């Protein structure tokens, strides 16, 4: 008897008892569906984090405003812009490990080009920003010195904004767009960095202050919302961070013992830590899901043992008609395998459906990779082999003479 014939016989036998077959494989279905779902959600979260880490760039420190006391009242972090362009200059000039640094002011606004418009983040910054983030141009150029110092009416578009405002054949370079009624010339379009990062338009910091954010009350002429700085080498991160902290304390005249009014963060490191945590949680969930697979396997073994007992006479007949011990073993092993494979396939389909539902309802990114599906199916095949072997072996060891005598 061949494997194929074994599967044919198994399918025939399982079709005769569809409810029982389905209930038997339910444990496998649930186990595999949970494994696929957990993998999809876990790897989706990791992908999102990796994209964010990539988009920030390597060896980047981010300086944001910290807590501020105003008349004894502690205000929320970032409620006052405590960093200035002077701080950016000082960091660049006085800390040798810093290769590039840039301050930014950001807000959201409608950008308009001819008949199309799009709501996006407007980031006022300097060319240093692109150096820090290793962000290359797809076409055009960065800001010139004159544009940076003289509030030039120019804009560099992220790829999403370029796609939304311009038809596929159109070259955005040199085109006029409007932001808050201010006409700006597109001088550059950036490379893709990731969906969350590409939805942005950059203008010179001076332009942002003069033309868009000048009226905001918490902005003085020199303020920036945050500073990003690139450290030359991996090993210098901690040193550069300490130097920035002491430099800024000195510049902001913070007396010893008082809290900083700024925070220096290493976003990549923080995200990597987060990634590790996600991995741990995902592994834990997979371990729990595997227990369900184990329970499913035991239920298959149980039903198979009952089935062998019920079909003792059939086994006797098959042996009398020339079935070898290994044919009988193969037949019952195939039944267990078909149960597990079918359960695994239903589980994979269920897991994909479930993770897509989660993605839609919770707005999470999920990623279904072939590896997770392969792993889940491999698990179910292994379950079938392990828990199907004993009943199949038992069936093959039955004496045909005794088996023919049973009623």
Partner 1 sequence: MTALPLISLRSVSRTYRTDGIAVTAVRNVSFDIAPGEIVAVMGPSGSGKSTLMNMIGLLDLPSEGAVHLEGANVAALSEDRRSSLRARSIGFVFQSYNLLARHNAVENVALPLVYCGVSRKERLARAEQSLQAVGMLHRAHHFPRQLSGGEQQRVAIARALIASPLIVLADEPTGALDSRTGAEILALFAALNRTGQTIVMITHDPGIATQCRRTIRLHDGELVSDETVAELLPRRSAAS
d(CA 308, CA 305): 5
* Interface with partner 1 (CB under 8 A), residue from 285, 317, 381, 386: 317
How far does the chain reach from its first CA to its final CA, in angstroms? 26
Smaller CB separation from partner 1, 295 or 404 = 404
312 binds partner 1 (CB under 8 A): no
Q: Which is nearer to partner 1, 116 or 313 (CB)?
A: 313
Residue 113 contacts partner 1 per CB under 8 A: no
Task: Return the half-sphere exposure (C-beta side, CA atoms, 13 A cut-off) of residue 66.
Answer: 15
For residue 16, state whether it binds partner 1 (rule: CB under 8 A): yes
Residue 360 sits in the site that holds partner 1 (CB under 8 A): no
Q: How many CB atoms lie within 10 A of CB 57?
A: 19
* b/e map 188-209, b = 16+ CB within 10 Å: bbbeebbeebbbbbbbbbbbbb
CA distance 368 to 375: 12
Handedness of CA 224, 225, 230, 235 (dihedral sign): positive
One residue of 149, 326, 353, 371 binding partner 1 per CB under 8 A: 326
Piece in contact with partner 1 (CB under 8 A), picked from 12-20, 123-131, 160-168, 381-389: 12-20
Q: Which stretch binds partner 1 (CB under 8 A): 72-80, 126-134, 333-341, 397-405?
A: 397-405
Please state, as a whole number, how many other Cβ atoms lie within 10 Å of the Cβ of residue 258.
Answer: 11
The smaller minimum CB distance to partner 1, of residues 131 and 325, is found at 325
Report CA 23 to chain centroid distance, whole Å: 35
**Shortest Cβ distance from residue 28 to partner 1 (Å)?**
24
Query: Judged by CB under 8 A, does residue 19 bind partner 1?
Result: no
Q: Does residue number 306 form part of the binding site for partner 1 (CB under 8 A)?
A: no
To partner 1, the closest distance from the beta carbon of 38 in angstroms equals 39
**Pairing between β-strand 182-190 and β-strand 154-157 as defined by DSSP bridges:** parallel
Determine the Cα–Cα distance for residues 41 and 298; give it in Å rounded to an integer. Answer: 28
For residues 212 and 206, give the distance between their C-alpha atoms in angstroms, rounded to a whole number.
10
Tell how strand 226-231 and strand 60-65 pair up: antiparallel
By CB under 8 A, residue 393 contacts partner 1? no
- Per CB under 8 A, the segment of 96-104, 135-143, 202-210, 325-333 that binds partner 1 is 325-333
Q: Does 20 bind partner 1 (CB under 8 A)?
A: no
Work out whether 1 is an interface residue with partner 1 (CB under 8 A).
yes
Q: How far is the CB of 386 from partner 1 (least distance, A)?
A: 25
Q: Is 11 in the site for partner 1 (CB under 8 A)?
A: no
Q: Which is nearer to partner 1, 233 or 320 (CB)?
A: 320
Contacts with partner 1 by CB under 8 A: the residue count is 25
Is 77 one of the binding residues for partner 1 (CB under 8 A)? no
Please, which residue, 202 or 332, has the CB nearer to partner 1? Answer: 332
Least distance CB 343 / partner 1 (angstroms): 22
CB-nearer residue toward partner 1: 316 or 344: 316
Task: Give residue for tokens 């595999």.
Answer: 32
13 binds partner 1 per the rule CB under 8 A: yes
The whole-angstrom separation of Cα 160 and Cα 238 is 35
Which residue's entry shows tokens 């990549």? Answer: 268
Single out the segment in contact with partner 1 by CB under 8 A; choices: 65-73, 276-284, 323-331, 365-373. 323-331
Tokens of 271: 């995200």
Decide: is 329 part of the binding site for partner 1 (CB under 8 A).
Answer: no
313 makes contact with partner 1 (CB under 8 A): yes
Instruction: Report if residue 281 touches partner 1, rule: CB under 8 A.
Output: no
| E runs forming strands in 249-321 | 262-265
Report which secondary-structure segment, H or E, holds 99: strand 98-113
Closest separation between CB of residue 390 and partner 1, Å?
A: 20
Q: Does 146 bind partner 1 (CB under 8 A)?
A: no
**Nearest residue (CB) to partner 1, 12 versus 74:** 12
Q: For residues 46 and 278, is the Cβ–Cβ distance under 8 A?
A: yes
The helix or strand, by DSSP H or E, that contains position 25, with its residue range, turns out to be helix 18-56
How far is it, in rounded angstroms, from Cα 290 to Cα 20? 22
Which residues of the chain form contacts with partner 1 (CB under 8 A)? 1-2, 5, 8-9, 12-13, 16, 313-314, 316-327, 400-401, 404
């Amino acid at each position: 008897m061949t494997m194929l014939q074994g599967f044919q016989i198994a399918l025939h036998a399982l079709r005769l008892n569809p409810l029982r077959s389905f209930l038997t494989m339910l444990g496998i279905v649930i186990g595999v569906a949970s494994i696929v779902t957990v993998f999809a959600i876990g790897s989706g979260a990791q992908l999102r984090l990796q994209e964010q880490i990539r988009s920030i760039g390597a060896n980047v420190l981010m300086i944001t405003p910290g807590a501020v006391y105003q008349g004894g009242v502690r205000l929320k972090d970032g409620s006052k812009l405590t960093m200035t362009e002077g701080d950016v200059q000082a960091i660049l000039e006085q800390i040798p490990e810093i290769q590039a640094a840039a301050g930014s002011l950001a807000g959201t606004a409608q950008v308009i080009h001819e008949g199309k418009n799009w709501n996006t983040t407007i980031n006022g910054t300097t060319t240093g920003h692109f150096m820090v983030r290793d962000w290359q141009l797809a076409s055009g150029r960065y800001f010139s010195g004159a544009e940076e110092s003289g509030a030039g009416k120019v804009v560099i578009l992220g790829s999403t904004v370029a796609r939304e405002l311009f038809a596929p054949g159109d070259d955005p370079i040199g085109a006029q767009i409007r932001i808050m009624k201010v006409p700006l010339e597109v001088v550059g379009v950036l490379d893709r960095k990731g969906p969350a990062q590409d939805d942005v338009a950059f203008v010179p910091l001076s332009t942002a202050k003069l033309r868009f954010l000048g009226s905001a009350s918490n902005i003085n002429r020199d303020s920036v919302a945050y500073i990003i700085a690139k450290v030359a080498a991996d090993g210098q991160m901690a040193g550069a961070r300490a130097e920035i902290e002491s430099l800024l304390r000195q510049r902001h005249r913070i007396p010893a013992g008082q809290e900083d009014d700024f925070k220096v963060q290493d976003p990549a490191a923080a995200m990597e830590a987060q990634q590790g945590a996600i991995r741990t949680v995902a592994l834990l969930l997979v371990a729990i899901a595997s227990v369900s697979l184990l329970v499913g396997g035991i239920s298959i073994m149980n039903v198979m043992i009952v089935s062998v007992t019920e079909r003792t006479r059939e086994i006797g007949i098959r042996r009398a008609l020339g079935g070898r011990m290994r044919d009988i073993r193969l037949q019952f092993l195939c039944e267990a395998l078909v149960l597990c494979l079918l359960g695994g396939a239903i589980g994979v389909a269920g897991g994909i459906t479930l993770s897509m539902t989660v993605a839609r309802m919770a707005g999470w990114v999920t990623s279904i990779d072939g590896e997770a599906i392969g792993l889940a199916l491999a698990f179910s095949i292994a379950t079938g082999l392990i828990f199907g072997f004993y009943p199949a072996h038992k069936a093959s060891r039955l004496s045909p003479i005794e088996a023919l005598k049973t009623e």
